[in-house]
Structure 1
Amino acid sequence: MQGNVSAKPTIAIAGKVGAGAHVPVFDAYEKGDGPQVECPPGLSYNGVVAVEVEGDSMEPVFSAGDLLFYTRDTHDGVPDDVIGHRCVVEDASGMGWVKQVKLGSEPGLFNLISLNPSADNMHDVKLNWAARVRLHWPAELARKT
């Protein structure tokens, strides 16, 4: 039996995010103009953005080339529900990171924790925004289009 095969929905890859590497904010492409990845099963593609990991500070959980999917519930600020979780963040200097976010020494400052014990943590960092990683896809599973 033959039928029409519909194209699978895709999610834009906004750019790269640093896991130890210093990566400028990852909105490297005009909206919808950059590479795309097939939407992973079970994940809605509405409002979801993907970024590619660069660096090894989040090993062994996230490796260079892996894709992280997230949704920003707010365009500015750090929601309370992201504290203690692995997040995609933008710091006040415009750098993009993937780190575990913890409260800093005073309100408005955050500690960015690396999972790799040989990597450096960042303390008392001002963040423009933070969003929890919703899904992690190892590089070998990602189907870029």
Structure 2
Amino acid sequence: MHNAAQWGNLPLMQKTFRDAFLAAIKSSGKSMRQVAQDAGVSYEQLKNLAQGKSKSTNVDDAVRIAASFGTNLESFLEGQMISTEHPTIAIAGKVGAGAQVPVFDAYPKGAGPQVECPPGLTPHNIVAVEVEGDSMEPVYSAGDLLFYRRNGHDSVPSDIIGHRCVCEDLDGMGWVKQVKAGDEPGQFHLISLNPGANNMWNVQLRWAARVQLHWPADLAKKI
């Protein structure tokens, strides 16, 4: 059961995302610059929202803004904030490494399960995915959670080379692989963690992010 605090005297469901944002700012005492930094969104975007030049934002940024206040999008729009005593991180979906790989965002935006933030991580701008199947054994097992930091839209930073990464290809399929440079610029070799699984050569990626933390299934505290 969440320890939640109401943001002001607004109705249960906000009329606009802007209403929820202004109420959260007022109740939390956070500055818009701090929210922009925590959520990884533009300060100008938040300023336009606060000034009424826009009443909403794209769904991905809305999820990040809600997470910067320690809650998911659904609770944010209801005017509720999860207590920061037990901050949470959203589980974006499931991911595999075999031939049949689930796509990301298996859950409706903001409506997926949450997991307590592991020690050593901050909940801002961090996402988790759940491992499905046994194609990543013995490194990762079914039900394990992998935490990663999204580096922005359509971003494949140079520091991913040689590391285990969560990534998405141009077909919208999610993978967890060791990423190596491909034969041509913009191409990557995806090396399977399981020696018996197939590697992928010269793949183009929509985005990739290094795995920040691996949490075995029996340690994860889903909420």
Provide the TM-score with structure 1 as the length reference: 0.90
Shift in CA distance, 13/29, structure 1 to aligned 2, threshold 3 Å:
same
- 1:16 is aligned to 94
Shifted more, 135-144 versus 27-36: the winner is 27-36
- 1:45 is aligned to 123
Deviations 1:85-130 (A, max 9, x none): 0000000100001111111111111111112111111111110000
Is the 1:11–1:37 Cα contact (8 Å) retained in structure 2? yes
Deviations 1:42-82 (A, max 9, x none): 11000110000113332211111110000111211311001
Is the 1:35–1:144 Cα contact (8 Å) retained in structure 2? yes
Is the 2:130–2:144 Cα contact (8 Å) retained in structure 1? yes
SS of the aligned residue for 2:159 comes to helix
Is the 1:22–1:95 Cα contact (8 Å) retained in structure 2? no
SS of the aligned residue for 1:23 comes to coil
After TM superposition, the structure 1 = structure 2 runs for residues 17-96 of structure 1, keeping only pairs within 5 Å, are 17-96=95-174
Shifted more, 44-53 versus 26-35: the winner is 26-35
- Give the greater-gyration-radius structure (CA): 2
Provide the TM-score with structure 2 as the length reference: 0.60
Mapped to 1, the partners of 2:126 and 2:142 lie a distance apart of 20
Runs (4 or more) in structure 1 with deviation over 4 Å come to none
- 2:78 is aligned to none
Aligned equivalent of 1:112, options 174, 178, 190: 190
Is the 2:90–2:113 Cα contact (8 Å) retained in structure 1? yes
Aligned residues: 141
Q: Which has a greater percent of helix?
A: 2
Q: How far off is 1:7 after superposition?
A: 4.5
Mapped to 2, the partners of 1:6 and 1:78 lie a distance apart of 31
The answer to whether the aligner puts 1:126 opposite 2:204 as a matched pair is yes
Q: How far off is 1:21 after superposition?
A: 5.0
Consecutive unaligned residues in structure 2, runs of 5 or more: 1-82
Consecutive unaligned residues in structure 1, runs of 5 or more: none
- 1:137 is aligned to 215
Task: Work out which structure has the larger RCO, using CA pairs closer than 8 Å and 6 or more positions apart in sequence.
Answer: 1
